[in-house]
Amino acid sequence: MADLLAAALRAGATTDRALKVVAEAVGGPLGDRLGAVGAALAMGAPPEEAWQPLHDLPNAAALARAGIRSAESGAALADTAASVADRLRGEADAAAEAAARRRPES
C-alpha cells in the first residue's frame, strides 16, 4: 500500500488523488480508510484530522505520521512513503524468519 502511494505520488498525483487511487486499488476496509483520508485532504481538512482514520492501524499509522509531517514541513511524501514500505517489508520478513525458526522440524 505504501509502495502504491509512493508510485502514484512520483507519477505526479497530488496526495489526495494518490490516496483515492490507492484506495480503489486496495479496496476493502483499508481502501475505505485511505479514501476517507484522501477526501478529507481534498476538502482542506487539517492534516492531523485528515490522516486520523489510519492512526489505529499498525502498518498504516507510520504512513499517517509521515503524511502529517509532510504536510507540515513541505517535504515530499513519496520518498517517505517508500521508506515506510521498505521498513514494513523488513519487519514482515523478520517476522516470517522468526516464525520459521520456531516451527518444529518434521
> Which of 36 and 97 is assigned the larger pLDDT?
36
66, pLDDT greater than 70: yes
Evaluate if residue 43 carries a pLDDT over 90.
yes
- C-alpha angle 36/73/64, rounded to 5°? 30
Give me the domain span that covers residue 98. 2-102
How far is residue 106's CA from residue 93's CA, in Å, rounded to a whole number?
A: 22
Question: pLDDT at position 90, please?
Answer: 81
In angstroms, the CA 99 to CA 104 distance is 10
Percent of the chain with pLDDT over 90: 60
What's the pLDDT tens digit per position in 78-103? 988 888 888 878 877 777 788 888 87
Q: Tell me the pLDDT band of 38, cut-offs 50, 70 and 90.
A: very high
Whole-structure pTM value: 0.81
Query: Is residue 40 pLDDT above 70, yes or no?
Result: yes
- Going by pLDDT thresholds of 50, 70 and 90, the confidence category of residue 106 is low
| Count of domains for the chain | 1
DSSP string for 60-83: HHHHHHHHHHHHHH---HHHHHHH
**pLDDT > 90? residue 46:** yes
